[in-house]
Structure 1
Amino acid sequence: MTAERFIPFTKQDVIALCAEDVSKNTLYDIDAFSQVSQILSSVLHFQYHDLLENLKRSYAPFDPNSDTRQLATLTENELAEHQAQFAKDFEKVLTAANFEKITEADIQAALTEESLFKVRLEVAFDDFDEIVFYRRGESQKTEILQQFFGLKKKPLTFTNYDRVAVYIKFKGKEHFANKALPAGFEPGATVIKLFQNVPKADLEMLFPNSEIRMRPIDKVIIGASAIVGGAVVLITKLGASLILLATLFAFWIGMSDESVEMNQKQLIALALGFGVFGSFIFKEWSKFKNRKIKFMKALTDNLYYKNLDNNAGVFHTLVNEAEEEDFKEALLAYSFLLKHPEGLTEQALDNEIEAWFDSQYQCTLDFEVDDALQKLEAMKLVTKSSNTHPGTNLDTNPDNALGTNMATHTVTYNAVELSVAKKTLDHYWDNIFQY
């Protein structure tokens, strides 16, 4: 299992953990650290507010839940521009929130892997113009599945995703000219959903056009029941009548010279027999429909508890999570640099933060140190210096001067003091608008 970029602690917890770590050094004022944290959070919140407004603006023309009116009708090209801009910004938010893209191979594998809940689904992929799945938080879980009416229990280990974001765009009117769309959708519609605790093998249930199909075992159970029951009905209720009909038919087509007469009693028995057989067929058909309804209920119940948000609500949630992830990364990097006045290289900082989480909180992270340092550099909360180290001549040939004393360069990062950081962030905040 690969390490996750997501930091599984709340923003408030990370502030408390960093403050506690920094407070162990008597050189630093814990109140000043809290003030730096507060204004850093405000600066990042403003930056993400701008991104949120862009997402709302580009999504508005095709928001299915909108209760506002459009002042002007957009052309096809303008709608396409809005769609492209939204897709670009939405991907940016997902990346910042430390979501990973689910590959097409993973989606195809989900259609063939053993499902956790007993339903087989089919998806018409040709209905979509674009399909993008993202996930965050991957773990291995084990559930006990009951088989043979609970007489046998089988453990099933599966890959589980803590969060799954879905972005799907349906094809246009031409594609659905002779084909029905799922209820509640229109041609060209954009579907955005956020789910929790989704088994990798059940990704297909997140598609809006997934249809329930009987599993082979379900077909065998229903088919065997129908064959046995049908045979019993034919023998007990229609046996004598069918023999009489066969004899009559043979006489009509000239295969038998013996004439057959049917009296009223026989006709009534024949009608009753066919009535019983018809009711049996209806019963078996109802059994099939009820089983399908049961499966649909299982699917609906499953999605009810897994669905977190839909459409515009999804990117509102994700922008908040992206903002918090950026804040946690920046604060962690700044805090650990504070503890090392001599400075740290990017790799050393990355290793120390990951080791700290692993040893102190048994949490395996792939910390995004480059992203954190870029934010701190942009807000002038760190300085960096380049150091040149002379190389070692390992070549004993005096005539070979090329590459014999190759120097190495390292970049060291230092955190600015808390008092300077407060003034720097305050100046940044005061100059966001210059009117």
Structure 2
Amino acid sequence: MRTVETRLRYIPYRRRDIVAMCLAEARLTEGQADQFQAMAEQLQRKLHLHFHARQEALKESYLAVNPQARLMKSGLLSESPDDLKLQLGELLEQANYEPVTEADLAAALQEASLFKVRLQVDFSRFKEVLLYSRGQSQRTETLKLLWGLYRKPVTFTHYDNVALYLKVPPEEGEEGERVYLKLFENVPKADIEMLFPETQVRMRTIDKLLIGVPALVGGGVMLTTKLGATLLLVGSLLGFWLGMHAQPVTLDKAALLALLAGLGTLAGFIWKQVKNFRTRKLTFVQALTRNLYFKNVANNASVIFQLVDEAEEEECKETLLAYYFLLAAGEPLSAKTLDEQIERWFSQRWQYRLDFEISDALAKLERLGLARRDNGNGWQACPLEQALAVLA
């Protein structure tokens, strides 16, 4: 079960869905509806050209620090890796990602994991760490405990998407720093540490007890039954060597065989417990690997392509929504009134709490020539015929 408790900038619908949702209100005539659809397509094409240029600039900035770069460099062109962080931050902002602060990360690391594994991250290995999330909500799931005999409902914070920026110092024999980019989906906040590379799996207290208690009980039984004679012989030898008694201990062939057999049994028991510990830890590592396989969306340069596409979609949806509601109103609206109308429409019609970025949307409309201020500081959409001509 998913519940959105906070208002988010992220619009969780496709651009085509937004167009269909607007037209479903039937506030436009049939001719206007066709023109609005055509305008939406032209707007998308115009924004696509803009974001393609952004993509090329990011590719150039990332080339110098990309750990997977395969192309040779001529040395004739200048590179500006210092711009990468700034450009990437602006792109994430346009894609409506929210920064995960150090306090948020520290709280997430302290929360009980839903993955049933205790993980440890060595942050000293990273020179810089940046986390961004998008689509935060509260979810409730039922966890199976005690081998499925007990079920417990757990409510947790869930991220639809998480973007990770990691800058690491050069390793021995390498030149320059490297920057790793990662993009994940469907990540519980309590398990965010599993997204970092080389995360160490640690046994939880309950897992140690599940191995340790049977080992202690089994060891006690073995000592009192199978190793009783061996322990008595070893104790007698130690007592004689330490001068605790003067009675010498005779080691005949039978006693020596019993001693070796007992020590072999003890060594086998210890090795079995160590193997059990390693097997259980390996099981956790395999489960972690399988889980990450389905959460990983993109790595390094491919993250840039994914984020550019998402930013393009978000910018287009925001512009379309602001234009449609101004157009449907048929009269000038203040920024506040327009913002309230859009957010109320999402809340009442689509049961989604949206924090619409009205100032950014109006700035885009004005920059594209799709809306203008009237004398009373209200906003009015330009006619559809004019919008089609401006975007052509």
TM bracket (short chain): over 0.9
Could you say what secondary structure the match of 1:138 adopts? strand
Find out whether 1:310 has 2:299 as its counterpart: yes
Confirm or deny: 8 A CA contact 1:357 1:364 kept in the other structure: yes
| Maintained 8 Å contact 1:170/1:187 | no
Whole-Å separation in 1 of the counterparts to 2:259 and 2:176: 53
1:277: Cα distance to partner? 0.7
What are the ranges of 5 or more consecutive residues in structure 1 without an aligned counterpart?
A: 178-184, 388-410, 427-435
Residue of structure 1 in register with 2:318 after alignment: 329
**Superimposed CA distance per residue, residues 185-218 of structure 1 (whole angstroms, 9 cap, x where no aligned partner):** 9983211111111000001001112100111111
**Paired position in structure 2 for 1:383:** 372
Aligned to 1:125: 123
With over 3 angstroms needed to count, the CA separation of the structure-2 counterparts of 1:130 and 1:117, relative to structure 1, is same
* Unaligned segments of structure 2, at least 5 residues: none
Residue-by-residue CA offset, 1:51-71 (whole Å, 9 max, x unaligned): 000011111122233332222
CA distance in 2, matches of 1:276, 1:130: 51
1:90 CA drift (Å): 0.9
2:85 to 71, 84, 87: 87
Candidates 385, 388, 391, aligned match of 1:422? 388
Aligned to 1:148: 146
Shift in Å at residue 340 of structure 1?
Answer: 2.2
Question: C-alpha offsets along residues 222-249 of structure 1, whole Å, 9 cap, x if unaligned?
Answer: 2222222222222222211221222222
Amino acid of the residue matched to residue 67 of structure 1? R
Gap change, CA 1:383 and 1:298, over 3 Å in 2: same
> Is the Cα contact below 8 Å between 2:27 and 2:328 reproduced in 1?
no
2:6 alignment counterpart: 2
Q: Secondary structure of 2:277's match? A: helix
Pairwise CA distance, 1:284: 0.5
- The Cα of 1:420 is off from its aligned counterpart by 1.5
Q: Which has the higher contact order (CA 8 A, sep 6+)?
A: 2
User: Structure 1: how far apart are the matches of 2:304 and 2:266?
Assistant: 57
**Identity fraction in percent:** 44
Cα separation, 1, equivalents of 2:292 and 2:99: 21
In 1: Cα distance, 2:141 partner to 2:241 partner? 64
Secondary structure at 2:386 match in 1: helix
Residue 141 of structure 1 deviates from its aligned partner by: 1.2
Q: Which residue of 2 aligns with 1:403?
A: none
Q: Which amino acid aligns with 1:133?
A: L
**Helix, strand or coil for the counterpart of 1:208?**
coil
- Report if aligned partners of 1:41, 1:327 keep a CA contact under 8 Å in 2: yes
SS at match of 2:165: strand
For residues 16 and 353 of structure 1, the distance between their equivalents in structure 2, rounded to whole angstroms, comes to 15
Question: Which is higher, the Rg of structure 1 or of structure 2?
Answer: 1
Structure 1 pair 12/261, CA: closer, same or farther in 2 (3 Å)? Answer: same
Structure 1 residue aligned with 2:47: 44
Instruction: Give the AA of the match of 2:205.
Output: P
Aligned residues: 388
CA distance in 2, matches of 1:35, 1:254: 101
Q: Which whole-Å CA distance do the structure 1 matches of 2:140 and 2:314 have between them? A: 29
Q: CA deviation at 1:27?
A: 9.0
Letter in 1 for 2:47: L
Residue type at the aligned position of 1:211: Q
- On the 8 A contact 1:61/1:70 being kept in 2, the answer is no
Q: Which residue of 2 aligns with 1:215?
A: 204
- Give the CA deviation at 1:41: 1.2
How many angstroms apart in 2 are the aligned matches of 1:42 and 1:376? 15
Residue 196 of structure 1 contacts residue 308 of structure 1 at CA under 8 Å; is this kept in 2?
Answer: yes
Q: Secondary structure at the match of 1:161?
A: strand
Distance 1:30 1:55 in 2: 37
Q: Provide TM-score, normalisation by structure 1.
A: 0.85
**SS of 2:369's equivalent?**
coil
User: 2:52 matched to 1:63?
Assistant: no
Please give the alpha-carbon distance, in whole angstroms, between the structure 1 residues aligned to 2:69 and 2:170: 20
Residues 31 and 25 from structure 1, CA distance in 2 versus in 1: closer, same or farther, beyond 3 angstroms?
closer
Q: Is the 8 A contact 2:66 2:180 kept in 1?
A: no
Q: Distance in 1 between matches of 2:195 and 2:338?
A: 39
The TM-score, its normalising length taken from structure 2, stands at: 0.94
Q: Conserved in 2, the CA contact under 8 Å of 1:381 and 1:415?
A: yes
